[in-house]
Amino acid sequence: MSGADLLALLPLILISISPVAVMLAIAFFRGRGLAAALALLGLFISFVSLPFAASYAPRSVTPLLVIDNYALFYMGLVFAATFAVALLSDGYLRMLRVRSEEFYVLLLLAAAGSAVLVASAHFASFFLGLETLSVSLYALLSYPVTREKAIEAGVKYLVLAAISSAFLLFGMALVYALSGTMEFSGIAAWAAAGIKYSNPVFLGALALIAVGFGFKLAVAPFHMWTPDVYEGAPAPVSAFVATVSKGAVFALFLRYFARVDIHTMGSLALALTVISIASMFAGNLLALLQNNVKRILAYSSIAHLGYLIVAFLASGALRVTAVSFYLVAYFITMLGAFGVVTVLSGPDGDAEDIEGYRGLAARRPVIAGVFSLMLFSLAGIPLTAGFVGKFYIIAAGAGSALWLLISILVINSAIGIYYYVRVIITMYSPAPVEAEEAALPPKSTEPAGPAAPEQAASAAGAIIPIGGGLVLAVLAIGLIWLGVYPSPLLSLIRKTIQSLM
Amino acid sequence: MELLWLIIAPFAGGVIAWLIDRIDGGDRRGLPARWVSLLALVFDLALLAAIWAGRHAGTGVGKYGAWFLQLKAGWIPEIGASFHLAMDGLSFLLVFLTVFLGIVSVAVSWNEIKDRVGFFHFNLLWCLAGVIGVFLALDLFLFYFFWEMMLVPMYFLIAVWGHERRRYAAMKFFIFTQLGGLVMLMAILGLYFIHGAQTGVYTFDYFSLIGTRMSAAAAFWLMLGFFTAFAVKLPAVPVHSWLPDAHTEAPTAGSVILAGLLLKTGAYGLLRFLVPLFPAASASFAPVAMAIGVAGILYGAILAFGQTDLKKLIADTSISHMGFILIGVFAWNSLALQGVVMQIICHAISTGMLFILAGALQERIHTRDMGLMGRLWEKVPVMGGVGMVFALASLGLPGLGNFVAEFLILLGAFKANPAMSVLAALGLIVSTVYALRMMQHVFHGEERRGWSLPDLSAREKGVAAAMIILIVWLGLFPQPVIDAASPALQGLEAIAGSQVKIISVAGLGRMTAPPAQASFYRTASGPLKSGALKGDKNERR
């Protein structure tokens, strides 16, 4: 390993040192502030080191890792998103009054796992990255141990992630048995040269791997865990699961298939088509019936992964651009949406009941405005990043003549509007005191106890934590910027995907 | 730059109105927000006057048409989308209509809207800005951007300030129009890729995309995609069901903008994009589209006749009147197109004013049920008189603008398709029935409740007077409007005509300029070569 190799690995090294540093620091000086500051610093330094690493890219560092612009781009996304989650968590954990130092260790570990994932070129590094991510998540999901729902979420995720890892491992083992290599490039060369995609064992292996991926990405029919986990987990962790953990897996998925025309593998393309359609319908239709904002966002994320697979099934350079842009837009939007839930949450529970949002626009207009923006972005309305993202997906689909898929996408967009807009209009409806509940026995305007966590929150923490506010402001600005002037990001993406094509 | 300011002014005005209302605390009934909105729109009006005074038609924007002004700037070069705005006579008239009705809307909400005044005007102005953008955009991506952008503010206008079933109506409106828009997006992208594959240039520019060669089947499907979006907005009959709900539940200003402007974006889309981009396909689709138009005219009229809700009745008449637009566009000759422009403007004014009256009545007696009204003329004679004028306009009385419009459309359509024209003319009869029935039930007949209500206020009288002057002027002397629109319309005809000819004379190796007046049906479906060559003697360029 040469010096250049080490320099190329700099971001990975830094993000791996960070959790160790935080752990050591809090062993001597326990303190919430110190841990948070160190974590933020670690993420920041890792992010800043990306351009240095870029000057040594593209480069294969050992057979395990490949550092190219694509990997660095997604590492940047992972670091930035984790930074946002860490900032959001600060106020949240303070409000929960739990010991929060270890939270940052776990968060940094998860980020490190994701970064390894997007740079992996080998089954071993892929699996290591994935497990580092998953194991950290088990603990993160149930971090507020006094909450039953959080424990439930953690256990549910643990069981399902373990099973899906087993599927993945079995699939990898079969591929290794057939091809004799665990490097992605070797496998691709082997598959293209020899047995093709008609060998039943290889197809079985692909199916097992697809099941594993399906669980991680929470696409239908492997999506059952998503709403429960998102609902039970602390809101910032839900944001992390929805964005970083899914995005990193999808980025890897895309890297492997970027050079392959997926339609040459008949059965895989068919399976992905079915998964995509099922995810879109399952996500959107089930979200219609929800009254819990976190569950709505969970189902929405299922549908959005379905949209992403539509772009993934397209061909040409447009598909990689579409997926990358959509992922960025999706990261910003989901972080923003869960960020709003985070800053509204009180010590008794997260702000998840849709009724708690009634009249929010009158009480806290800025937060309501930011949340509306995020929801409009999820619905794909102009002026937001989601619009350009959806446009790109439909463009990628139309360019490859996937008319069936994009027709279904269009129908689903229309279905989706219903539940996004339902949340928005609830925020802009008059507060319950004057409306339907006027008939109920008069209650004091002060929070009515634990039954109304949102109201409690608005009284207790009417001032938004400064970190959370900052994150939301930056995300909202980024959202509009990408929606109105996406050119800079598009040219950046264009540069990053050159090494793939 | 003037074009950009036209759009920026309402955008900025909306934001300022919102902020100023928040700072003000809303204790003065939102007056600052109202004045800021008015100021932004008056600024636009002044800008339009300046553009009109300083226009010199025929600046070199594209090959065809008479453009006053254009603005072209890079936007998203990665996908070939540019920020391309341009204005010709047609756009000018429509933008003028937008600003005028915008001012009217601010005026009529002066007393009606008392809650969250700043946010109301923010939505109002952003909706107007989106509509202006739609009327000016010459890049299909930009067009789609504005097309979608005007929906959200309109959604809020209905859902927050509407009447009893506002959330249902707003949601229905949003989903219908969004679905239509997405289908259009698919068609836009289909066109984009076909053009890109042929020329290697991937662009959304209107002038580049015109004349894209494609198979008849591809052209038909893409045309249908555009048609879906425009038909939903117009609305045409099978996809009209959002309209009565949305119009009825919207606050008065929302109804005025919906009827006066949002429906017109559909008509504008047909004129500017559908036929010029797919002339041959739309020619072959014309009989179907005209049949849909006739169905809309008659069905809307029947709905209106059976209606007891005053606002719903007016909404149903809109369906009927929009049928004429569909017929006129697909007749595609000079007379019919001039009629379409007149219809766009006159319907916006007459229906807009009827909605204002219905809103004024509802504000006073808190009902829209015509079964509870009656004999109101004695109590509110001015309102009754104004109502009479616009009911007569709606039924197409000569001397008022709507008559000119519908007459021109029928005349043009008769040349293209006599049978449809005859059927459409039945609409004039049924419109008499519903308009007079409306007058009878509201202002005459027996007194059903002992209402006591004030007549129109000075502000409302001012609005009504402006509207009456306009509709009478358009009825007696429509020539200025026709003159303003004609060069633009001839340009559109030339675009469509030239392509049909390119298709029919493909192989002759020479592109001939199109005839100005010839109906393109002859060139499209007649004996192709001879028809096309005959047209040559009428060259214009």
At A303-329, the pLDDT tens digits run 999 999 999 998 877 888 899 999 999
Q: Would you call B449 an interface residue with chain A, using a CB distance cutoff of 8 Å?
A: no
- Check CB contact under 8 Å for A487 and B77: yes
Q: Which of B15, B76, B165, B221 is best to mutate for the A interface (most A CBs within 10 A)?
A: B76
Please give, rounded to a whole number of angstroms, the shortest distance from the CA of A334 to a CA of chain B: 20
Q: Residues, chain B, total? A: 541
> Which chain A positions have a beta carbon within 8 Å of B79's beta carbon?
395, 490
Cα–Cα distance, A171 to A173 (Å, whole number): 5
Q: Which residue has the higher pLDDT, A110 or B528?
A: A110
Q: Could you give the 3-state DSSP secondary structure of residue A326? A: helix
- Check CB contact under 8 Å for B156 and A387: no
Chain A and chain B share a number of CB contacts under 8 A equal to 77
Of A6, A32, A7, the closest CA to residue A467 belongs to: A32
Cα–Cα distance, A329 to A324 (Å, whole number): 9
Q: Answer yes or no: are the C-beta atoms of A323 and A455 closer than 8 Å.
A: no
Which 22-61 residues of chain B touch chain A by CB within 8 A?
22
Average pLDDT over residues A92-120: 91
Q: Answer yes or no: are the C-beta atoms of B17 and B122 closer than 8 Å.
A: yes
pLDDT of residue B25: 65
> Which chain B positions have a beta carbon within 8 Å of A497's beta carbon?
none
Cα–Cα distance, A286 to A296 (Å, whole number): 8
The overall average pLDDT reported for chain A is 86
Q: Would you call B145 an interface residue with chain A, using a CB distance cutoff of 8 Å?
A: yes
- Check CB contact under 8 Å for B149 and A413: no
Going by the DSSP 8-state scheme, the letter that residue B485 receives in this structure is H
- Check CB contact under 8 Å for B160 and A407: no
- Check CB contact under 8 Å for A382 and B148: yes
Shortest CB distance from A394 goes to which of B149, B156, B189?
B189
Please give, rounded to a whole number of angstroms, the shortest distance from the CA of B468 to a CA of chain A: 37
Dihedral (CA of B144, B149, B152, B155) sign: negative
pLDDT of residue A348: 79
Measured CA distances, B265 to B136, B325, B442 (Å)? 11, 12, 31
Residue B83 Rama label (left phi>0; alpha psi -120 to 50; beta):
beta
A58 cis-preceded (ω within 30 degrees of 0)? yes
* pLDDT level of residue A234 (50, 70, 90 thresholds): very high
Of B345, B492, B473, B484, the closest CA to residue B55 belongs to: B484
- Check CB contact under 8 Å for B185 and A418: no
State yes or no: pLDDT of A11 exceeds 50: yes
From the number of C-beta atoms within 10 Å of its C-beta (0-12, 13-18, 19+), residue A442 rates as: exposed
Q: Which residue has the higher pLDDT, B505 or A119?
A: A119
Q: Answer yes or no: are the C-beta atoms of B253 and B106 closer than 8 Å.
A: yes
Shortest CB distance from A394 goes to which of B78, B148, B186?
B186
Beta strands at A65-67 and A59-61: parallel, antiparallel or unpaired? antiparallel
- Check CB contact under 8 Å for A394 and B149: no
Residue A395's closest chain B neighbor by CA? B189
Supply the ipTM of this predicted assembly: 0.87
CA atoms within 13 A on the CB side of A241: 35
Shortest CB distance from B179 goes to which of A321, A414, A490?
A414
pLDDT of residue A168: 93
Six token digits for residue B367: 């009902």
Residue A364's closest chain B neighbor by CA? B22
Q: Answer yes or no: are the C-beta atoms of A392 and A316 closer than 8 Å.
A: no
Of B18, B9, B344, the closest CA to residue B153 belongs to: B18
pLDDT of residue B534: 37
Residue A425's closest chain B neighbor by CA? B159
Number of H helices, E strands in chain A: 22, 2
Amino acid at B358: A
Q: Would you call B382 an interface residue with chain A, using a CB distance cutoff of 8 Å?
A: no
Q: Which residues contact B346 (CB under 8 A, 6 or more apart)?
A: B393, B400, B401, B402, B404, B405, B471, B474
Dihedral (CA of B381, B382, B385, B390) sign: negative
- Check CB contact under 8 Å for B175 and A387: no
Q: What is the pLDDT of residues B239-248, one digit of tens each?
A: 888 998 999 9
pLDDT of residue B491: 85
pLDDT of residue B446: 80
Q: Which of A324, A391, A434 is best to mutate for the B interface (most B CBs within 10 A)?
A: A391
Of B174, B167, B172, the closest CA to residue B149 belongs to: B174
> Which chain B positions have a beta carbon within 8 Å of A325's beta carbon?
none
Of B452, B357, B459, B346, the closest CA to residue B394 belongs to: B346
Residue A362's closest chain B neighbor by CA? B116
A320-335 as b/e: b if 16+ CB within 10 A = bbbbbbbbbbbbbbbb
Average pLDDT over residues A221-233: 91
Cα–Cα distance, A111 to A22 (Å, whole number): 14
Q: Would you state the torsion angle of the CA atoms of residues B461, B467, B473, B475, taken in this order, to the nearest 10 degrees?
A: -120
Cα–Cα distance, A311 to A308 (Å, whole number): 5
pLDDT of residue A385: 93
Q: Would you call B425 an interface residue with chain A, using a CB distance cutoff of 8 Å?
A: no
Cα–Cα distance, B118 to A185 (Å, whole number): 59
pLDDT of residue A119: 92
Please give, rounded to a whole number of angstroms, the shortest distance from the CA of A430 to a CA of chain B: 9
pLDDT of residue B322: 92
pLDDT of residue B208: 87
Please give, rounded to a whole number of angstroms, the shortest distance from the CA of A294 to a CA of chain B: 22
Shortest CB distance from A487 goes to which of B76, B156, B186?
B76
> Which chain B positions have a beta carbon within 8 Å of A494's beta carbon?
78
Six token digits for residue B484: 């303003």
Cα–Cα distance, A274 to B518 (Å, whole number): 51
Q: Answer yes or no: are the C-beta atoms of A296 and A227 closer than 8 Å.
A: no
From the number of C-beta atoms within 10 Å of its C-beta (0-12, 13-18, 19+), residue B411 rates as: middle
CB atoms under 10 Å from CB of A170, counted, come to 16
| Range of lowest pLDDT (A203-212, A445-454, B92-101, B286-295) | A445-454
pLDDT of residue B89: 87
Q: Which residue has the higher pLDDT, A185 or A137?
A: A137
Residue A396's closest chain B neighbor by CA? B189
The alpha-helical segments, DSSP class H, found in B1-116 are: 2-24, 31-53, 89-112
pLDDT of residue B508: 36
Residue A483's closest chain B neighbor by CA? B145
pLDDT of residue B26: 55
Q: Answer yes or no: are the C-beta atoms of B315 and B169 closer than 8 Å.
A: no
Low-confidence ranges of chain B (pLDDT < 70): 24-28, 56-65, 498-541
Q: Would you call B218 an interface residue with chain A, using a CB distance cutoff of 8 Å?
A: no
Q: Would you call B465 an interface residue with chain A, using a CB distance cutoff of 8 Å?
A: no
* pLDDT level of residue A352 (50, 70, 90 thresholds): confident
Please give, rounded to a whole number of angstroms, the shortest distance from the CA of A261 to a CA of chain B: 19
Q: Answer yes or no: are the C-beta atoms of A100 and A158 closer than 8 Å.
A: no
Please give, rounded to a whole number of angstroms, the shortest distance from the CA of B148 to a CA of chain A: 6
Q: Could you give the 3-state DSSP secondary structure of residue B68? A: strand
Average pLDDT over residues A447-459: 42
Cα–Cα distance, B109 to B463 (Å, whole number): 12
pLDDT of residue B181: 92
Q: Could you give the 3-state DSSP secondary structure of residue A273? A: helix
Q: Would you call B78 an interface residue with chain A, using a CB distance cutoff of 8 Å?
A: yes
Shortest CB distance from A381 goes to which of B141, B148, B167?
B148
Shortest CB distance from A382 goes to which of B75, B76, B149?
B149
From the number of C-beta atoms within 10 Å of its C-beta (0-12, 13-18, 19+), residue B356 rates as: buried
Q: Answer yes or no: are the C-beta atoms of A78 and A247 closer than 8 Å.
A: yes
